[in-house]
Amino acid sequence: MKKIFHYALLFAAVGMMGMGFTSCSSDDPEDNTVEASASTLENIVGQYVNDVVNPTYRDLQAAAATLDDTCKNLYAKRLAGTLTQTDIDAACTAFKNARKYWEQSEAFLYGAASNDDIDPHIDSWPLDQTQLAEALTSPTVIAGITGENPARFVYTSNGQFDSTMGFHGLEFVLFRNGQNRTLDAFMAEYETGDGLNQEGDDWQDNQSKLRTVKTTQEAAFAAAVAGDLHNMTTLLAYEWTADATLKNYLTTSANWVIEGTRYKGLTKDGVSYSEAVKSVGQTTSLFVSWPVNLQNIFKGGCSSISQEVYTQKLGQAYRVATGHPEVGEEGEDAGDYIESPYSKRSFQDYQDNIYSIKNSLYGMRGTENVSTPAAGSIMAFMKQHYPEYEALNNALNAAISSLETAKNSGVAFIDNPAHAQVKTCIDAVQELDDQLNLAATWCARNIMVK
């Protein structure tokens, strides 16, 4: 899937806000209205952008650059016959680092990641193994990924393998059964074809196709895709920060990426997304007022990813596995709906999504062991003024805790998507989503700018 449901919700939420959407008035405004100065709200949003959004994207870009280097090294040494397990492990570690930053950015996918289709380009799932096998036995694709500019080929000519780009194509090449790929597997001439679904004609056909893929082509593919991922995360970081060094890299080394955007890597009004979010009511602003800006952080950002986690990332596989599929899911395998199955990091990914929410609201990064919001953060403001702060904060912690338990259970999501712990996680994240939406409504209804 390409997150169609997720995008529909995100665009609906942000679209309404960008056009000046405001919630209806409170039934009892005198009891609920909170006065706050414009400078206070501006500082809250500024802290969110400066201390969470921008540094997350900068670290993602740097981690993707390292991943690019390690995958190029892996390919070069596989060709030379000098590959070691250390080389493979280095690429796997680089993947995990980049993956963490990406998952912890998903509470602010509005803006550049959605407007320039960066999210579906680098994070569509599930991977179509048959499509990958066909691509890696195609003379055209092989020539492209081993040619003069493999990353550009991936960006411009991916019609034959559009479900296999970005993180999940790399995951398939680098990991199997929750472990780093072994040196023996990489040094074999052909892919072993150890797919996920272990029965049926489709599985047999899929394995037959995979076993015609040479491991040298897989290594070439990983290097090409990692190069494209590096370019796309550089674009994402530039669009938010307007950093001149990042722009110089794009214009000199990956000009096709910045030329492929709608507005040359900026908003339609010619400013960075940071500038557009950190102001309101101007022609270059994304939002018409500070309350609507805060509402977007809760709803267009945080609720959007929490809803995806419990309805899609956890929910679709669980429904299929427990015999309660929605329309379009009947007769399909639950594994068809699971993100990150080869590394078995699904629960880690989803927990990082919730940490993305916590970082956003707490106004700081690295909130894994933090229980107190940063001074000047959105959550510090809510703690002072919002009557349901404890319910919101408790739901946030409960969602993280449920995923921590699942992560440490020894039962990976792909191994038992019908496990009771999955339903526990779904319920906890759904409760968090409910609380985020209540907070979003409160911001729009009850904050008065003085």
pLDDT > 90 fraction of the chain, expressed in percent and rounded: 83
Distance, CA of 435 to CA of 341 (rounded, Å): 30
Q: Evaluate whether 167 touches 122 at the Cβ level (below 8 Å).
A: yes
Alpha carbon distance, N-terminus to C-terminus of the chain: 45
Query: pLDDT tens-digit profile of 149-192?
Result: 999 999 999 999 999 999 999 999 999 999 999 999 999 999 98
Q: Going by C-beta distance under 8 Å and a sequence separation of 6 or more, which residues neighbour residue 299? A: 13, 17, 436, 437, 440
Fold designation for 4-449: A middle domain of Talin 1 (1.20.1420)
pLDDT > 70 fraction of the chain, expressed in percent and rounded: 89
* Strand 175-176, strand 447-449: pairing: unpaired
Question: Hey, what are 147's tokens?
Answer: 């040619």
What's residue 197's pLDDT? Answer: 52
- Whole-model pTM: value is 0.92
What's residue 339's pLDDT? Answer: 94
Query: pLDDT tens-digit profile of 209-258?
Result: 788 899 999 999 999 999 999 999 999 999 999 999 999 999 999 999 99
What's residue 333's pLDDT? Answer: 77
Distance, CA of 349 to CA of 446 (rounded, Å): 34
Query: pLDDT tens-digit profile of 40-93?
Result: 999 999 999 999 999 999 999 999 999 999 999 999 999 999 999 999 999 999
What's residue 200's pLDDT? Answer: 55
Give the model's confidence band at 18: pLDDT under 50 very low, under 70 low, under 90 confident, else very high.
Answer: very low
* Residue ranges per structural domain of the chain: 4-449
